[in-house]
Structure 1
Amino acid sequence: MKFKHIIRKAAALLICLSMGLSIVSCGKSSDSSSSGSADKPENTVSARVTVDGTKFMVNGKQLWINGVNTPWYNWNDFTGSMDYDAWDKTFSQLAEDGINCTRIWVNCTGENIVRLKSTGEIKNINKGHWSDLDKLFEIAEKHKVYVMATLTSFDHCKGDTGSPERWRTMLQSKAAVDDFAEKYVKEFCSRYSKNEYLFSIDIMNEPDWVYENEECGQLPWDDLSYFFGKCAATIHENSDTLVTVGMGIIKYNSDNYDGNKISDNYLKELTANENAYVDFYSTHYYMWQKQYFGFPFNTTPEEFGLDNTKPCLVGETSNDDSAECGYSLTEKYEIAYENGWQGVMVWMQSQEDHSWYEYGLTQEATQAFEKNHTNLVYPNGK
């Protein structure tokens, strides 16, 4: 059998040489370079995050998001002039402190990134945006820190920044939303979904305020949720990347209150698309909410009001409220895990001096959680 194998191999080699092919290229699929997998050795362990029931998984092992928010270094960083060294230093520090994921606003208000026509459709996209994001995701992969990429925010619709009227117009036009999904969201997926350190796409930061606040337009949920559903469907149809929406309060993320505005049924009904759904819930929490909606960390996600069929994490929360809530930040990470939450991501942005706010508190908490649960933070090993 071994002799026959050698004969077959030699015959194949002669055929390759007769066709003018090199020995190295012989036997390779002609379309391997376009698949995105040709550069990855066969024995490389996958870092891709998937969902199994209510848990995040990597390579068949549970992943817990020991996370933070580093939403921007400079407002609208990614317009062609990002501070590479600052972001590289940040990711290096996060990795050192056991932080396995950070949430970044890749587009803070739309200005100088995605320019819209008065009709709400896309006029053009800044090419420097893509070149900066190329660098950002290279840094993430280099340091093995996942990114939750937030595509839009209520700030897009806010009256004193960017082009709010055009963003409001876009959100209220199905044709313009479809255009945004096709030209921006699909392109984002095409460029970055093969990078396994893109943990997820967060379609909008705190849309609650676009619905509630006059300065943001007070747009109806049907329009906002059509936008979420269309973008989610586009992501699912063009990548394996997980999808969520960073809801500001549980009020609009639960059937216990005003209804879950990102439920599977609602998004699919609005878009008539079975791919319109979020993969997990990323509810934000600050202490002002306690008197209205309770406290999430010492309760289960279901007890707090969330759907119990998907992973749930606290996608944004304070890192300095221990005096108000009665728990240290270290304790909050731990009790959240014990109660079935799949991650905590504290807010660290400081606009005053380009430092990450109260980083020592965050560092202490994430280091402690990594020490106690190394295999959850780094399922593939650090």
Structure 2
Amino acid sequence: MKNKLLNLLVAALLLGGCGTGESTQNGAVEDSGWKTLKKVSGREIIAELKQTVDPSPEREKAIEALEDYPEFGEPTTELKEDLAVQAIEGPAAIESVEEVYGNFEEEGILFFENQRDGAEQSGIWIGVKEPDERVQKLLDMLQPRVDAGEIVAEPIYIFRSPHTQQELYDLQEDVLEVLKGMEHGRGSFGLSANTVTSDIEITHDFLKPEQQEELKKQFPDHTFHFTQEGKMVAEPGESSIIWPEETFTDSPVEEGGFILSIEEKRILVVGGSEDATYYSFPEAGELKVGQRVNVEASGGILESYPAQGSAKFVEVLPDYKPIGAVLSESQAVVKVLDEFGGKSLDALMVIKDISYDVEKKVWVFKILQGNEEVTFEVVDQ
């Protein structure tokens, strides 16, 4: 549990914040009922710490130590306050929540808000769905640290949350099951439930409008945000291969990578402008070794070498065939695979560049195999 809570500190660098609108109403903690003291950003504050002393010199020194942060952009007062909360109040609050509640994911939510992302004030938010006597224990643990000047009270917000983190996890699982039934093995998606709002955020390349509406109907208490990534997958019965309008061109083609091998429902694309990647592709049998292609991946890419992924679309580029040449570029690639690639299979062959020498009537390859770069010529015949 400790690691999960501490991971929230890292997530703070990514989570944005809403603007903070604060009422002037104030009040003391109730032993029963946990009444709303005020509202901040539309959230019901149910308990708050009291700022009793000025921050200690030790805390000020800790803030000064945060000045070297060029990776976060131009140093500003707002950025400094954001980082101070993440480095000082944040860990103190997380540590206390962990000690009081143990598995807090079943009790509420934790998140940061940052001024650089739009919030009026930097803060760590502790949302409790069903507040009880443990809220007072949390206050009793943190207040002495405020009194000692170790932390300041203002950036720590304790509010009534409409949901817990565990409920969001359960919600994601429920939505996931519905999405899997809609995917039918075609396309990919990403899914998350927003910690702050509980909105469901889905990235996809296959959901039709009617499927999106069906999801909304099945989960009417939640707001959905759909984002399409890349082209939509081909419909059943449609090809995922994009063929060129003209098979050949007499102008060199610079983009794309080369198909160096074809297996059952899998292609290896290497060189040119493409990284070395094995793509699973149901229509692999309709392609040819040597073709120059652009691949649009579906979903994530496994960072092995070669990398591994799935191809959503394969665009076959026009085959370069200079005027007067006997071989086309793809045919020359097949020859270089036969003549050069077969000499050493210990290292992957990467075609860095191909050109055609009109006078010598040869195709000139610049090839990287392992750490060695060589020039290899294929006679145009």
Please indicate the TM-score interval, normalised by the length of the shorter structure: under 0.3
Which structure would you say has the larger RCO, counting Cα contacts within 8 Å and 6 or more residues apart?
Answer: 1
TM-score (norm 2): 0.20
Give me the TM-score of the superposition, normalised by structure 1.
0.20
Higher helix share: 1
